[in-house]
Structure 1
Amino acid sequence: MPNPFSLEGRTALITGSSQGIGFSLARGLAAAGAAVILNGRDTTKLEAAKATLEAEGHRIKTAAFDVTHGPAVREAIDRIEREIGPIDILVNNAGIQRRAPLQDFAQETWAELMRTNLDSVFLVGQAVARHMIQRGRGKIINVCSVQSELARPGIAPYAASKGALKMLTKGMCTDWAPFGLQVNGLAPGYFETELTKPLVEDETFTAWLKGRTPARRWGTVEELNGAAVFLASAASDFVNGHILYVDGGITSCL
């Protein structure tokens, strides 16, 4: 029987993939056989990421566009479909974090966070899904978070954006599953990345995290790749509207 986890012959677009979790997911999907399109706004970072993955033998393209700008998104997706080929897999990974006490959180910062973490998923998801619907198949993976379920002091707006993303994922499934699409969420716990380095180096926070997480450690970004390959492959063809937590057990216990 063919390997249900193989992504050979598939093309994946991953937003926010020049570094961090998005870059690791690009490497993981490429290793499973997919041709990968990296996305970001910084062309220098994109080209560096592309060069790294190509040196490992992967098939990589880049598409620089702002995922929060509707007209730019629609133009970019149409161009990819026309010039590169059908997008079989979409990973909505682009996101930001902003920390402040809720009573001091600026409205413009709230709007920035929602545009990046939530609006972008609607915009890119809709633009890609319109093409997928015509073909009668497609995989969409929205990168959620443990904050889709849990809150912590100082990040209430981020938790709100990721909680909304969880429900947008379920709504996308409800509307698009009849057309042959599978839409699921991949929800990381606490992972070591460039963005979390200050927290990793904070001994008090790391001690709290290890005590709170049954696995008693931070995750490494490579540990997300297997779950992403599953959700992107034929192995998950009857999995829809599901949020897959990869978190060392943190959402399972008090």
Structure 2
Amino acid sequence: MTTRTTQQLFNLEGRTALVTGGSRGLGLQMAHALGEAGAKVMLTSRKAADLEEAVADLQAAGIDARWIAADCSREDDIRKMADQAMERIGDIDILVNNAGAAWGAPAEDHPVEGWDKVMNLNVRGYFILSQHVAKRSMIPRNKGRIVNIASIAGLGGSPPDIQTVAYNTSKGAVITLTQALACEWGKYNINVNAICPGFFPSKMTQATLQRLGEDELAAHAPLRRLGDDEDLKGITLLYASDAGKHITGQWLAVDGGVSVITGG
């Protein structure tokens, strides 16, 4: 075997990627990373207008990108979307489970419908799509990469003024799901890993940013900053490419160091 160069290991030319929640924010950032490395990218989210704008942005950067609107909290939508994606771009080499929901409320008053909404999208949806893509596309070809977006919220509780018990629980479940799938599907040469972002300016963190302020949140990080439009690109590409072929069942916090602070 000829040892490949770093550039060859990170090259994704000839591969296809499906990114959920890909029309903005972290999903679009990761789609850029995959497309810039040569992958053909399919985006999905609920709103067609947002997807059209995102795909135009990717295409302007020279990326082969397309979209399908779907609600990843609904099983029928998930399966139909995945089948349509494979019909349009071929087998899926890289799946990025990024679509997510949050619900802020004190635990003692948290509505059950809010809990169910978060769990359906953040956990159940990830499992259904991973299972469908693995069974239809990855297992038969004995290869694949799955990247699950968890959160540093999934590593434990949050400060008392950030009341997101369902979100924290769901993201903890994503980490465990990642590890369980990695154990079961390693024999099929499918790598399953997770990213745990910290605070990035996004819709998911908008309420927290409004309540606490960007400067205050940044002050809690050793690097004294929030995540930006580049900070998930490197880890996404590592997990998705042959550069990370011996990494599976792992999670990495991309949070400016927040998760290494002890004692609050």
Residues 141 and 56 of structure 1: CA distance in aligned 2, closer, same or farther (over 3 Å): same
- Aligned pair partner of 2:133 in 128, 131, 154: 128
TM-score, normalised with respect to structure 2: 0.91
| Structure 2 residue 121 is the aligned partner of structure 1 residue 113 | no
- For 1:132 and 1:119, locate their aligned partners in 2 and report how far apart those are by CA, in whole Å: 20
Q: 1:93 to 1:173 in 2, by over 3 A?
A: same
| Structure 2 residue matching 1:39: 3-state secondary structure | strand
**Residue 219 of structure 1: SS of its match in structure 2?**
coil
Say which of 81, 93, 97 aligns to 2:98: 93
State the Cα distance separating 1:78 from its structure 2 match: 2.2
Counterpart mapping for 1:9-88 below 5 A: 9-88=14-93
State whether residues 193 and 221 of structure 1, in contact with CA within 8 Å, keep that contact through their aligned partners in structure 2.
no
- In the alignment of these two chains, the number of paired residues is 253
CA distance in 1, matches of 2:59, 2:77: 27
Any conservation in 2 of the 1:68–1:123 contact (CA below 8 Å)? no
Decide whether the 8 Å contact of 2:16 with 2:89 is kept in 1: no
Once residues 101 and 144 of structure 2 are traced to their aligned partners in structure 1, the CA distance between those partners, rounded to angstroms, is 26
1:243 has 2:237 as partner: no
Secondary structure at 2:63 match in 1: coil
Output the TM-score relative to the length of structure 1.
Answer: 0.95
Unaligned runs of 5+ in 1: none
The 10-residue stretch of structure 1 (92-101 or 204-213) with the greater mean CA deviation from structure 2? 204-213
Match of 2:148 in 1: 142
C-alpha distance in structure 1 between counterparts of 2:127 and 2:202, whole Å: 25
Conserved 8 A contact 1:192-1:221: no
> Structure 2: 5+ residue runs without aligned partners?
none
Q: 1:209 aligns with which of 217, 222, 228?
A: 217
Tell me how far 1:7 sits from its aligned partner.
0.9
Paired residues of 2:44 and 2:70 also in contact (CA < 8 A)? yes
- 1:232 alignment partner in structure 2: 240
Which stretch shows the higher mean deviation, 18-27 or 72-81?
Answer: 72-81
Return the alpha-carbon distance in structure 2 between the equivalents of residues 145 and 241 of structure 1: 15
**RMSD, aligned CA:** 1.5
8 A contact 1:138–1:180 mirrored in 2: yes
Q: Take 1:139 and 1:162, find their aligned partners in 2: how far apart are those partners?
A: 19
